[in-house]
Amino acid sequence: MSTPSSLPRVLGAFDVYVLLVGTVIGSGIFLVSATMAAAVQSPMLMLGVWVVGGALSLFGTLALSELSAAYPDSGGIYVYLREAYGPLIAFLFGWTSFVVIEAGAVATLASAFSTKYLPYFVALPPWGTKAAAVALIAVLTTINVIGVRHGAFVQRTLTIIKMSAIVGVIVAIFTTAPGSSSHFVTPAAPPWSLGLLSQAGVALVASLWAYKGWELVTFVAGEVKNPQRNLPLGLVLGTLTILVLYIGANLAYLWVLPIEAIAASKRIAADAMQAGVGGSAATIIAGIVLVSITGAMNGNILTAPRLFFAMAQDGLFFERVATVHPRFLTPHISIIAMSSWAAVLAISGTFEQLAAYVVFGVWIFMGLTGVAVIVLRHTAPDRPRPYKTWGYPVTPVLFVLAALFISVNALIAQFWNAAAGLGLIALGIPAFMIWKSRSRSV
């Protein structure tokens, strides 16, 4: 029996939708409103920043929708960067993704699951929390190795539970908690100034962090049925759904708590629920967050390995990573490799520092992806484009400017971390040269 070399197209528009929603919504909406409130100190300004962050994320998904419909292959952003700028830039994105970004995201989520929220239900010693993090990674890895349909089913189930729970929290707060509409407008936003713009920038970075993750869906483009239709549809509808859920949650927070209390809160969702349902609020929110984190982890493990699979197919990563399982038809070696590295990061605890290093670089690659829409329209004008970015060229340019803002902000605020991140990315250059020379000699 011959070994398959490609992945079957088995995912529909709803799978793309739940992958995006379930991967993006992790723990951010339950935490970052406090950071934003502390930065801007005005409810209308905080809500405005949430809307702006959602709009910029939507502009990014619009750009990716055009690229994914034109290049519906496994690897997503890696493919678009390769086509627009050549293999080196694409490899550096993939290198950084494997070493830190995607494996680090899984490690971060697994550690948050076991150290911050699981203790609400089970008391564990320090070694037990690490074991629980690794066990969760192992379970989700196994599910995704034995079939993309299995991983998609888990994602569907967890996302529906997660969305229902968030809507339930919003409804519970508005219907049971004593609140005040004055919290929506008091205090008023101060006059615009450079200082206020800087504070709004801090809040915008926090909101974009909560929205981030929609780009991962493009990595499974090679397994989406009718990708020219289903990818743009799932990407756009998913991003709009997240925007609505985030605004709804923040309106609920503001209904029961003034902006000053939100800014001082360490667990804003639990504090807001406390006003509505009393003493069981923390346990309810912890349960919702556990489901939310699990869904985000599953989305990362389902999608990200397709990036490394595509690199290996190009001869720019370990050859076996391009292997398709003869029975399960999944990139099983790639899934196991990324998850194993994520487990190492979770056990060692180094992922937090590594993540701080690459914030600068991550958004450079995101900005380059936005520019790729413009570049490829000029360098590949005859490429079929079943979907074209709405608002072109304004919307991709605005997204690129947002990515540039975050990169510059990281460079100024955390110069040495940014410099270390650039060094980590630069280490990929000799790795690229080695793999490139090997692929030529084959």
Task: Domain ranges for the chain, please list them.
Answer: 13-77+102-349
Query: pLDDT of 145-157, one tens digit each?
Result: 999 999 999 999 9
257-279 residue pLDDT tens = 999 999 998 888 888 888 766 76
Q: Is the pLDDT of residue 314 over 90?
A: yes
- Whether 240 shows a pLDDT value over 90: the answer reads yes
Section 241-247 average pLDDT: 95
The phi and psi torsions of 218 (rounded to 5 degrees) equal -65, -20
Residue 300 or 353, more confident: 300
| 412 vs 211, residue with greater confidence | 211
Mean pLDDT of 292-307: 95
Chain mean position to CA 403: 14
* DSSP string over 365-380: HHHHHHHHHHHHHHH-
| Lookup: tokens for 240 | 């709009």
Per-residue model confidence (pLDDT) at position 401: 93
Type of residue at 104: G
Peptide bond into 393 cis (omega under 30): yes
pLDDT range class, residue 76, cuts 50, 70, 90:
very high
Is residue 140 within 8 Å of residue 276, measured between CB atoms? no
Helix axes 268-277, 148-176, angle to 10 degrees: 50
Handedness of CA 424, 362, 118, 275 (dihedral sign): positive
- Residue 296 clears pLDDT 70, i.e. is over it: yes
Lowest model confidence (mean pLDDT) among 21-25, 105-109, 300-304: 105-109
Q: Is 264 exposed, middle or buried (0-12, 13-18, 19+ CB in 10 A)?
A: middle
Mean pLDDT value of segment 162-166: 93
Q: What pLDDT was estimated at residue 440? A: 66
Residue 355's pLDDT band (cuts 50, 70, 90): low
Q: Could you tell me if 5 and 147 are in contact, meaning their C-beta atoms sit under 8 angstroms apart?
A: no
Question: For residue 1, what pLDDT is reported?
Answer: 44
Average pLDDT over residues 61-82: 95
Q: Which CATH number is 13-77+102-349 given?
A: 1.20.1740.10
**Helical H segments across 97-193, by residue range:** 102-112, 126-145, 148-176
Sorting pLDDT into bands at 50, 70 and 90, what band is 356?
low
Question: HSE of 195 in the Cβ direction (CA atoms, 13 Å)?
Answer: 4
Which residue shows structure tokens 């006059």? 191
- Residue 294 CB neighbour total at 10 angstroms: 23
- Taking the C-alpha atoms of residue 386 and residue 277, their distance in angstroms, rounded to an integer, is 49
Residue partners of 326: CB distance under 8 A and separation at least 6? 1, 3, 4
Return the residue matching tokens 């990362």. 300
Reported as a single tens digit per residue, the pLDDT across 396-406 is: 999 999 999 88
Burial class, 156, CB count within 10 angstroms (exposed 0-12 / middle 13-18 / buried 19+): middle
Q: Confidence band (pLDDT; 50, 70, 90) for 319?
A: very high
Q: What is the pLDDT, as a whole number, of residue 442?
A: 54
